[in-house]
Amino acid sequence: MVKRENSFLARSGQILRRPGFWIIVVLFVIFTIPHYSEAFGYPAGLGTLTSAIGLTRHAMERILFLVPIVFSGFLFGPKGTIVSSIVALACMLPRAILISEFRADALFETAAVTIVGGFVGGLSSFSLRLLNREREYVNELEEAHQELTRSEQKYRSLFENAHDAILLQDLGGNILAANQASAKLTGYELESLVGMNVTQFLPEQALKTARETRKKLLNGESVDSVYDQQMVRKDGVELYLRLSVNLITDNGKPVAFQLIARDVTDEKRMQDNLQFYLQEATEAQEEERKRISRELHDETIQELVVLSQKLDMLSVESKTMSGEDRQRLEKLQQDTGNIMKGVRRLSQDLRPAALDRLGLIPALEWLLTDTEEYSGLKTSITVTGEKRRLPERTELVLFRITQEAIRNTWRHARASRVDLEIVFANDKVSISVIDDGEGFVPPKSMVDLAKDGKLGLAGMHERARLIGGNLRVYSGPGKGTSIIVEVSV
């Protein structure tokens, strides 16, 4: 209640401080005093005019009350019109009832002035409100225009000063706009670049990729937001770009493409060099494995075989040997046999002969059989699709990845079985190594494998990349692990 009173007093104080309020009060006083005093008369000219149009003195004064009513509507809106109409009625009504000789006419004139004044005042208030709204709308438009101008200037500044090359091209490949970074990237002057067609600095394969991307965007298909693209500078130097393409529309109609490009030539070359180094290192490692395996098979195992035969001959020929010495000799024979088996397994592990002679599937079957013998894991292999030989390098990499995955299973997973699933499709081959071990939380990205200490998985990932394949790992605590390698052939 106190708040309402304070609010009313505040509004009343605001009204009393407005000059227009006191003008209205003065007008009511000026028009009311002559309305009740016969001593006041009109000037001769005004009296003649009112008589000529058929108005009596007091009728003219009633009409003058329209002035403060309409003025109140302008200043204070509908409420001002209502209040001033009531005040005008209070000013005119006593004379019309008590003093006027023509009471009916006076009452009619009083009512007419009140009604017309209220209507005109309301109309003026409505017109003023419309005018204010129009003024506010104009102001809003002006502010929006200024904001748009500021945004345009800000965007243009970002566009012109961006480190990445930004180009705007029409649907035909003609460049509509470009920033300074684009000129620096392509080697053309900015004035020359605008108006050129992108076919002038894209090689054939890159042009084909660009057309496919544009076509997908125009058809509303999803495309990779960022992809690598080749470009030839004005001086003939070939660059590698990391490119982002967006379709620009106007009222739903495609009108242009926006391209944002970054020069990644040095990064690409470093990656290619690293890839080449890894490939050479891997091949050198395999060649060394092959050499050691051959030496173990051709020399060490053969020497062990000769040693075993000599021990057998010694056992047969030594008739005077005591029983204790014979037991020692038999123990030496057993140890020699065990060493021979170990060396043979090591030789096969380094480079399975079945892989070179028979191919990937027989080599993997041998790997599972050997794993069961020395680890106790239950194994199985399932082959789907039409079996076929793959390129030697591809078979070798797939075997190594599978070998490492199975080795990790029996060493770290605490699993009871491991299953191998091989799928031959028309254009790709995939191998899945699935165990029922304790599992682990895989990293969010394969690039974090080495950082998280998963060196075996990191090596498998790098090997898959060497043949253009990809490696995926699915695991979880208590859920086992699935390692899937897939390669196009």
Q: What integer best gives the mean pLDDT of the chain?
A: 78
More confident residue, 343 or 168: 168
Q: What is the mean pLDDT of residues 432-444?
A: 88
The pLDDT tens digits for 16-60 are 667 777 887 777 777 777 777 664 455 544 444 444 444 555 666
The pLDDT tens digits for 64-73 are 777 777 777 7
More confident residue, 445 or 94: 94
pLDDT-derived band of residue 416, with 50, 70 and 90 as boundaries? very high
More confident residue, 225 or 399: 399
The pLDDT tens digits for 291-307 are 776 676 667 777 777 77
Helix pair 265-295, 455-466: axis angle to 10 deg? 100
Query: Does the pLDDT at position 193 exceed 50?
Result: yes
pTM over 0.85: no
In angstroms, the CA 268 to CA 271 distance is: 5
Question: If you search the block for the tokens 């050997």, which residue do you land on?
Answer: 370
Strands 175-178 and 417-424: unpaired
In angstroms, the CA 138 to CA 135 distance is: 5
Instruction: Give the other-Cβ count within 10 Å of 140's Cβ.
Output: 10
pLDDT at 446: 64
Reduce the secondary structure of 448-482 to three states and give it as a string.
Answer: HCCCCCCHHHHHHHHHHHHCCCEEEEEECCCCCEE
Question: If you search the block for the tokens 């030839």, which residue do you land on?
Answer: 232
Q: What is the mean pLDDT of residues 132-160?
A: 75
CATH superfamily of 162-263: PAS domain (3.30.450.20)
476: β partners: none
Range scoring the smallest mean pLDDT among 53-57, 155-159, 267-271: 53-57
Query: Does the pLDDT at position 184 exceed 70?
Result: yes
Question: If you search the block for the tokens 């003219």, which residue do you land on?
Answer: 60
Cα pseudo-dihedral 150, 151, 157, 160, rounded to 10: -140
pLDDT at 379: 92
* CA 61 distance to own-chain centroid: 76
pLDDT at 429: 94
Q: What is the mean pLDDT of residues 332-342?
A: 80
CATH superfamily of 353-489: Histidine kinase-like ATPase, C-terminal domain (3.30.565.10)
pLDDT-derived band of residue 417, with 50, 70 and 90 as boundaries? very high
Strands 417-424 and 378-384: parallel
Nearest alpha carbon to residue 261 among 179, 362, 155, 197: 179
Query: Does the pLDDT at position 474 exceed 80?
Result: yes
230: β partners: 240
Q: What is the mean pLDDT of residues 111-139?
A: 73
pLDDT at 52: 46
pLDDT at 39: 46
Query: Does the pLDDT at position 136 exceed 90?
Result: no
Query: Does the pLDDT at position 5 exceed 60?
Result: no
Q: What is the mean pLDDT of residues 88-111?
A: 73
CB 146 within 8 Å of CB 109? no
- Which run of H or of E encompasses 135? helix 103-161
Domain-wise residue ranges, the chain = 13-138, 162-263, 266-351, 353-489
108 to 33, 53, 67, 97: CA distances (angstroms): 21, 18, 19, 11
More confident residue, 57 or 195: 195
The single-letter code of the amino acid at 325 is D
